[in-house]
């Protein structure tokens, strides 16, 4: 029995991943997301300058502006501002490229933390019956506060900075993960194999890790991807409103917030970071759509 059992899961797992990778949404969204990740990592080598460097003689320039500056050794060099400059003379191109770093860090960190915290609370809610209704009422309350508004309220409570922003975006996401995990746990608990595991005296932690946890993986990967996209968007909104990450840090939201004043004359200050942001969110959402259709067909019909 054991040998027969061991063989199929391996081949099935391989076939699942090949189905996933053949999905056009996964391919398209995943490739763009991967390219953005590579750009974010390689930011210093992509003909960028220090994104915080201020050049008072090159303020509010149009894309393609070339300036002559002295380098560290005092030699005159030509500098090209591919996407122009902002009102402090900072290079928009470099800021947009470096902005990818902040956005992706926020997106991935929020997704990982929200999924992890939600998984633990969700398993407790699904398994410890007396805690269930207390936890879920609390989560209902959190979910009744509109996501962005809750994030806005939470950032107002602490001093601005990356950790505060991450926490403020994580908290509204947690109840959604909790609900998902809880519903999986509740449905798994009634399965015959779980009941037989209980009958043979499997201790609860083993039961949760061996039988319940693997069943939450697929929906959580899907949910995590959507949370990542949503987190990038909310971070940009908070920065844009001027209540997120401090303005000197290059984030797409901050670049756009800075570009508001001269928008009529220099629309590129808002346009380019806006395109980058839309592309990132679109790519990750498409990746999520594709993953949901292939990994988690049960939920595919929800939308």
Binding site for another protein (CB under 8 A): 137-138, 140-142, 144-150, 152-159, 229, 233, 236-237, 240-243, 256, 263-264, 267, 270-271, 274-275, 277-278, 281-282, 285-286, 289, 301, 303
Complex with another protein: residue 99 or 274, whichever CB lies closer: 274
Q: Which two tokens stand for residue 68?
A: 């002559």
Tokens matching residue 245: 């990450």
- Complex with another protein: residue 197 or 271, whichever CB lies closer: 271
Output 132 or 147, the one with its CB closest to another protein. Answer: 147
- Can you tell me which residue has the tokens 């929020």? 110
Sign of CA dihedral 246, 250, 252, 258: positive
Taking the complex as a whole, the smallest distance from the CB of residue 190 to another protein amounts, in Å, to: 22
- HSE (CB half, 13 Å, CA atoms) of 21? 6
Between 166 and 286, whose beta carbon lies closer to another protein?
286
Long-range CB contact pairs, 259-263, < 8 A, 24+? 259/86, 261/87, 262/60, 262/87
Query: In sequence order, what are the beta bridge partners of 70?
Result: 76
What is the end-to-end Cα distance of the chain in Å, rounded?
40
Nearer to another protein, 89 or 242 (CB): 242
Query: Considering beta carbons, is residue 106 or 188 the nearer one to another protein?
Result: 106
Find the shortest distance in angstroms from Cβ 234 to another protein. 8
Tell me how far, at minimum, the Cβ of 286 lies from another protein, in Å. Answer: 7
Distance of closest approach, residue 282 Cβ to another protein, in angstroms: 4
Residue 70 per-residue DSSP state: E
User: Beta-carbon neighbour count of residue 76 at 10 Å?
Assistant: 8
Least CB distance from residue 96 to another protein, whole Å?
A: 13
What is residue 59's DSSP assignment?
T
Cβ nearer to another protein, comparing 168 with 185: 168
CB of 275 to another protein, least distance (A): 8
- Considering the complex, what minimum distance in angstroms separates the CB of residue 213 from another protein? 29
Task: Pinpoint the alpha helices (H) of the chain.
Answer: 2-22, 24-41, 92-127, 129-143, 147-155, 162-189, 192-199, 204-207, 213-240, 252-259, 268-295
Query: Residue 245, by phi and psi: left (phi above 0), alpha (psi -120 to 50) or beta?
Result: beta
């Amino acid at each position: 029995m054991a040998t027969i059992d061991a063989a199929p899961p391996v081949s099935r797992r391989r076939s699942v991943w090949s189905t996933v990778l053949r999905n056009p949404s996964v391919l398209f969204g995943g490739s763009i997301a991967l390219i953005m990740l590579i750009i974010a990592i390689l930011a210093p080598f992509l003909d960028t300058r220090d994104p915080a460097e201020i050049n008072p003689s090159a303020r509010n320039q149009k894309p393609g502006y070339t300036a002559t500056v002295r380098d560290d050794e005092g030699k005159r060099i030509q500098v090209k501002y591919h996407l122009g400059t902002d009102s402090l003379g900072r290079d928009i191109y470099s800021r947009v490229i470096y902005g990818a770093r902040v956005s992706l860090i926020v997106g991935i960190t929020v997704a990982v933390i929200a999924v992890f915290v939600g998984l633990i609370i969700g398993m407790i809610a699904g398994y410890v019956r007396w805690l269930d209704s207390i936890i879920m009422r609390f989560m209902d309350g959190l979910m009744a506060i509109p996501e962005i508004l809750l994030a806005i309220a939470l950032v107002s409570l602490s001093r601005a900075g990356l950790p505060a922003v991450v926490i403020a975006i994580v908290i509204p996401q947690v109840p959604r993960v909790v609900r998902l995990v809880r519903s999986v746990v509740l449905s798994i608990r009634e399965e015959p194999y779980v009941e037989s595991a209980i009958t043979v005296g499997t201790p609860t932690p083993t039961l949760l890790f061996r039988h319940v946890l693997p069943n939450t993986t697929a929906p959580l990967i899907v949910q995590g991807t959507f949370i990542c996209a949503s987190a990038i968007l909310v971070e940009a909104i908070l920065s844009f409103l001027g209540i997120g990450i401090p303005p000197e840090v290059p984030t797409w939201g901050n670049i756009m917030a800075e570009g508001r004043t001269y928008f009529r004359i220099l629309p590129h200050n808002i346009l380019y970071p806006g395109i980058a942001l839309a592309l990132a969110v679109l790519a990750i959402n498409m990746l999520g759509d594709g993953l949901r259709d292939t990994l988690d067909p049960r939920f595919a019909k929800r939308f």
